[in-house]
Structure 1
Amino acid sequence: MPSAPPVTETDAQLATRLAVEAGELLVALRAEMFAAGASIWDVRDAGDAAAQRYLAGELHTHRADDAVLSEEGLEDVRRYEADRVWIIDPLDGTREYGEPGRHDWAVHVALWERTHFGAAAVSLPAVDLVFSTDPPAPMPEQVRDRPRLVTSRSRAPYAAVLVAEGLGCDAVRLGSAGAKAMAVVMGEADIYVHDGGMYQWDSAAPAAVAMAAGFHASRVDGSPLVYNERDPWLPDFFVCRPELAEGVLKAIWG
């Protein structure tokens, strides 16, 4: 059951609570279904559906006038003219969620207000962590001689290969976009580059959380990230420590 929200819950508090509580729901559901012998496909489908229902219901209850853009929901046409749009990914890393023991999946909740983020949170439920725009995460110290690049489990995007070669990076692999971006925020990695195609809900909350903490986040050509475009396709972005941003762009574009 969702906890009783504060009467004066701010947007950041709401985003954080929803990311945490959706994550708790997903952790419990996964454990229950695997204990009952469910297939990985059923676990994945059930997780997507349950987290979507929870987030949609909470946003309808507590921010009924706001529009919603979600990976799992129907198109909310109000968002085309709305000043406030919640961009959510109820289960980022569905593949990883369906593999027992994997922790690299996330819940994304972000609020876009015309030209900027109003609030956001990313939870990593399997390791009981949440990152918010308020308060932002402290930026960790740089302790490595060689930058560490985090990239996809299944393939290395071309831009990531260029950055790894150009900056002499060590590379690690993780699942979801949220997990990779939060690895940078936590200091477990220094750079996350993706240019292989994604949607607005894949990067919105991770980018907002990273930027609030002082990290660089942009398109791979260095242009700003813009959300709530009519086409939900937003194929590339990167997150890195601010002192590495110029080197990343130079490695990609020369």
Structure 2
Amino acid sequence: MDDHTLAAVLAEEAGELLLDIRSEGGAVGDRKSNTLLLDRLREARPEDIVLSEESPDDPSRIERSRVWIIDPLDGTREYGEPPRVDWAVHVALAVDGRAVVGAVALPAAGLVLHTGQPPALLAPQSGPIRVAVSRSRLSENVAHLMAELSATPVPMGSAGAKAMAVVRGTADVYAHSGGQYEWDSCAPVAVAAAAGLHVSRLDGTPLRYNRPDPYLPDLLICRPELRDTVLAAIRSRM
């Protein structure tokens, strides 16, 4: 089984587990999904190391070329509010700091999007630019971007759900500022890039993974034809 297929299979398996135990709540879901993913990766890729939101960090990972970066349950609050579907499982592999393999499961929607079979990029839509935004909070940078673009908000929960909204064509842009970690974006970025979308930091610089500090506070995923327009709007505030 190649790395792309493995990521997709594990994301799907963790998603099925989470659906089965959803009534037990987010804390239990985080823990059990994490255990499943760690066990499966240990079996399938014993030479690799894992960076997980739900496990202590192993500093030796920074010396490795291949590091799996996982978020066993992205969107714990949404998961705890059935029947919401805007939560996800992230399974990614960073190679030499690049997000090259990824799978994002949207279990409640019955979907797994992954780099082994990247989704086809849909044709641009007419009308206002649609920006995937948090349903509960809007950072000043994103609010500025929305105003500059005269954009329409598409509110939803987890980072994975927002990123996959752009991949699936229900949004055009996902911009985040205000704090994330590598496990929040690695798998979504791999899938988005494989689908032909633009991915970067908010200043346009490349996203790098498996750094000593996994804090990676900002992110931009957008349709390729909007890249220059979006980056110009962001830079007008910087």
TM-score (norm 1): 0.91
Report if aligned partners of 2:99, 2:189 keep a CA contact under 8 Å in 1. Answer: no
Structure 1 residue 12 corresponds to structure 2 residue 4: yes
Report what 1:250 is aligned to: 232
1:118 deviates by 3.2
Q: Of 52, 64, 67, which residue of structure 1 is paired with 2:34?
A: 52
Report what 1:27 is aligned to: 19
Q: After TM superposition, where is structure 1 displaced by more than 6 Å over at least 4 residues in a row? A: none
Report what 1:146 is aligned to: 128
What aligned pairs does 1:133-212 form with structure 2 within 5 A after superposition? 133-212=115-194
Letter in 1 for 2:19: V
Aligned length: 236
Report what 1:78 is aligned to: 60
Structure 1 residue 64 corresponds to structure 2 residue 51: no
Report what 1:237 is aligned to: 219
Matches of 1:224 and 1:83, distance apart in 2 = 18
Structure 1 residue 97 corresponds to structure 2 residue 79: yes
Letter in 1 for 2:15: G
Matches of 1:192 and 1:177, distance apart in 2 = 9
Matches of 2:44 and 2:121, distance apart in 1 = 31
TM-score (norm 2): 0.97
For residues 128-174 of structure 1, the C-alpha deviation after alignment (integer angstroms, 9 at most, x for no partner) is: 00111111110011123111011111111222112211111111111
Letter in 1 for 2:93: L
SS at match of 1:239: strand
Structure 1: gaps spanning 5 or more residues: 1-8, 34-41
Report if aligned partners of 1:88, 1:110 keep a CA contact under 8 Å in 2. Answer: yes
Matches of 1:201 and 1:115, distance apart in 2 = 13
Report what 1:39 is aligned to: none
Deviates more, 1:192-201 or 1:137-146: 137-146
Matches of 1:66 and 1:50, distance apart in 2 = 21
Matches of 1:146 and 1:68, distance apart in 2 = 40
1:191 deviates by 0.4
Letter in 2 for 1:53: T
- Root-mean-square deviation (CA, aligned residues, Å) is 0.9
Sequence identity (%): 51
Letter in 2 for 1:94: T
Letter in 1 for 2:140: Y
Structure 2: gaps spanning 5 or more residues: none
Determine which structure has more spread, i.e. the larger CA radius of gyration. 1
Matches of 1:177 and 1:232, distance apart in 2 = 16
Report if aligned partners of 2:97, 2:210 keep a CA contact under 8 Å in 1. Answer: no
